[in-house]
Amino acid sequence: MSIADSLAGFEEIARLVLAAGRSLRGYVVTAFGCPYEGAILEERVLSMARAYADMGVAEVSFGDTTGMANPRMVSEKMGRLAAHFHNSRGLGLANAYAAYQAGVRIFDSSVGGCPTAVGAMGNVATEDLVNMLEEMAIDTGVDFAKLLEVTALIEEVLATQPASFTCRQGRPVWGPSTI
């Protein structure tokens, strides 16, 4: 469906959700680039964000669901918004950090990583994102031990190995300093 049709349908959903006293997040899923349309103009992305705001949406997430973003694009386009990155070219965490530096504090991620778009490596793994932020002394409020328990359960139930680098390699073990 067209973007206009999608927003019209979402407007009705927003009306119902907000009437029920709940908050809502809107997504611009290919905010950085689209394999079908190419580069996405910033004005188009901002227009969609304004449309969501006009509907009363509390948060807007700019997504890189096809893995086409790079850290410079992220730094230039983000702001005080939610972010959603895939790790298609190994830049998901770098893009999340660039978004963090630009002021973003809300991130989508997927426990164990989760492939969704054709050709994409899947969402940034929650364990990798939390590990990176905490290694930089940024408090995430996440209980990392419980996060790893959930990841292990998902791995067992789905009989797959998580895409998370942290689950495969573990967290660094910091011994006493010799300097």
Cα 142–Cα 30–Cα 66 angle in degrees, nearest 5: 75
> In the predicted model, is pLDDT for residue 117 greater than 70?
no
CA-to-CA distance for 23 and 153, rounded, in angstroms? 29
Confidence band, pLDDT 50/70/90 cuts, at residue 94? very high
Mean pLDDT of 116-132: 79
Task: Report the chain's mean pLDDT, rounded to a whole number.
Answer: 87
What are the tens digits of pLDDT across the range 6-39?
999 999 999 999 999 999 999 999 999 999 889 8
Positions annotated as catalytic residues are 114
Q: What is the CA radius of gyration of the chain?
A: 18
User: Which residue is listed with tokens 């793994």?
Assistant: 125
What are the tens digits of pLDDT across the range 141-168?
999 999 999 988 988 888 877 778 888 8
Give the fold, CATH level 3, of 3-169. TIM Barrel (3.20.20)
Contact 131, 171 (CB under 8 A): yes
